[in-house]
């Protein structure tokens, strides 16, 4: 039996800030994970490429408010930091 990926444990090393902020990042990272897994069949962030995250930001958040996109970008930066990737986005 395969255990589900624990996003909270994955981000634990890079999360800072208040409890509410940490919970928001975890919730948003889980949402990103679900969307990427449904579209690209990539279950864990270790399997993601930059194009998967760009797809999420452009297609899933394209019609959201600027504030929402900003907060998701902060979460994406945490994910990139945890993955030790130097991803940059011009969104």
Each residue's pLDDT tens digit, 64-87: 999 999 999 999 999 999 999 999
Is the model more confident about 90 or about 7?
Answer: 7
- Give the model's confidence band at 4: pLDDT under 50 very low, under 70 low, under 90 confident, else very high: confident
User: How does pLDDT run across 48-69, given as a tens digit for each residue?
Assistant: 999 999 999 999 999 999 999 9
What's phi and psi for 16, nearest 5 deg? -135, 175
Task: With 0.85 as the threshold, say if the pTM is over it.
Answer: yes
Dihedral of the alpha carbons of 50, 13, 44, 25, in degrees to the nearest 10: -70
């Amino acid at each position: 039996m395969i255990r589900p990926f624990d996003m909270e444990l994955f981000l634990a090393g890079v999360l800072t800030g208040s409890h509410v902020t940490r919970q928001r990042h975890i919730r948003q990272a889980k949402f990103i994970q679900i969307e990427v897994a449904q579209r690209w069949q990539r279950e864990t962030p270790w399997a993601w490429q930059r194009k998967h995250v760009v797809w999420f930001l452009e297609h899933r958040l394209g019609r959201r408010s600027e504030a929402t996109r900003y907060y998701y970008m902060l979460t994406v930066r945490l994910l990139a930091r945890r993955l030790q990737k130097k991803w940059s986005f011009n969104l």
